[in-house]
């Protein structure tokens, strides 16, 4: 005969769960919610920063075009003033 323990086909849960286990699981849940909330806040800040950076890039591009246009206007004015 072999000395193997009997195999139980169903799980069995005992009603005695230590209070420390319940408190520990509660603290882990609270920590997870806190982490998720902080993560959500940081993602929101990064999205706002990205929008601001895109706006700044567009403004910089417009300023460069305005400088080019201003240079062309100066060149045209100088050419007009030189003509008799």
Mapped onto helix, strand or coil, the DSSP state of residue 66 is helix
Roughly how many angstroms between the first and final C-alpha of the chain, as a whole number? Answer: 123
- Residue 5: pLDDT band (50, 70, 90) is low
Sequence ranges of the domains in the chain: 20-84
Q: Within a 10 A sphere around the Cβ of 11, how many other Cβ atoms?
A: 5
- Residue 1: pLDDT band (50, 70, 90) is low
Which tens digits make up the pLDDT trace of 10-45?
766 667 878 888 899 999 999 999 999 999 999 999
The whole-number pLDDT of residue 17 equals 78
């Amino acid at each position: 005969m072999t000395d193997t323990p009997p195999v139980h086909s169903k799980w069995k849960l005992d009603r005695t769960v230590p209070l420390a286990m319940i408190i520990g699981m509660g603290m882990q849940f609270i920590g997870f919610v806190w982490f998720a909330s902080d993560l959500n806040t940081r993602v929101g800040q990064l999205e706002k920063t990205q929008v601001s950076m895109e706006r700044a890039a567009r403004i910089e591009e417009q300023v460069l075009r305005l400088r080019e246009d201003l240079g062309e206007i100066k060149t045209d004015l100088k050419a007009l003033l030189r003509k008799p």
